[in-house]
Amino acid sequence: MDKENPEIGGKAENRVSSSDQIVRDLVRGLYEGRYVAGQRLAEPDLMRRYGVGRSTVREAIKRLAAEGVITVHAYRGAQIRQLSRTEARNILLILELMIGLACRLAAANIGLPGRRAHFDQAYQALLAFRNERDSYEMVRARNRFYRAITQIGGNKELDRILPSIQVHLVRTHLKQSTEDRFADYRAIAEAILAGDETGAEAAGRDHIRLTSQALQQLPDHVFAPEEQPSAFAEFTSEDAEDA
């Protein structure tokens, strides 16, 4: 039942179910600017663009919707989610905690075999972009940096949850004010490399907090309009689902 090297990691399903490819490409497209927040996604459109059937498109849409990357209005199609200022702030509030945790865990595990080398490599790769920012390659290097942190931390759930926190969308917004915080990265990296759990957590949280502040200074037009909660009404909405 094995040929030679049967999936060393544990996840055996490398099959990339077509619909997953759409999901992937769309998210990547967000980074690359091929898709922008608010853009409408019509099924016939996507069918043609990706050369797949409607079922496949719909599955991709459902997945993206569940991850919060897009929103679907019944009978009106899907569109890439656009964050309001409040939503962005709320997301970053959560992200702050998650990144803090990731950094702390990374610092705690940096001593395990292989980790230090892996992290250092990702960090150096990011540093290479110190003077050539804003490129798509730089974004990827930064993503790998983050990813290295969460991987070393070893909390796979973090990896699973983080993407669904609309980091993409926040980043998209942030592209406008990209004065990338290399000082932050340095503080995080040093704390992690020093195995300083508390320091790493603080550095990670600070980083997100600064990011949030920068984002709040962006002009209104980069955000979706704030939707009035009306009056704390519809409270008897009852068990809307699970939770």
What token pair was written down for 103? 């950094």
| Among 55, 71, 86, 124, contact with DNA (rule: CB under 7 A) | 55
| Among 50, 52, 58, 77, contact with a second copy (rule: CB under 8 A) | 58
* Number of C-beta neighbours around residue 58 at 10 A: 16
* Number of C-beta neighbours around residue 57 at 10 A: 24
Is residue 216 near a second copy by the rule CB under 8 A? no
| Among 113, 131, 217, 219, contact with a second copy (rule: CB under 8 A) | 113
Positions 167 through 196 that interact with DNA (CB under 7 A): none
* Number of C-beta neighbours around residue 192 at 10 A: 32
Is residue 116 near a second copy by the rule CB under 8 A? no
Residue number, 44 or 114, with CB nearest to DNA: 44
Is residue 43 near a second copy by the rule CB under 8 A? no
| Among 41, 103, 108, 162, contact with a second copy (rule: CB under 8 A) | 162
Is residue 39 near DNA by the rule CB under 7 A? no
Instruction: Name residue 83's amino acid.
Output: L
| Among 54, 118, 130, 133, contact with DNA (rule: CB under 7 A) | 54
Partners of 84 in the β-ladder: 224
Residue number, 60 or 188, with CB nearest to DNA: 60
* Number of C-beta neighbours around residue 82 at 10 A: 20
| Among 42, 161, 194, 210, contact with DNA (rule: CB under 7 A) | 42
> In whole angstroms, how close is the CB of 236 to a second copy at the nearest point?
10
* C-beta of residue 201 within 8 angstroms of C-beta of residue 100: yes
* C-beta of residue 223 within 8 angstroms of C-beta of residue 84: yes
- Biggest alpha carbon–alpha carbon distance for the chain: 63
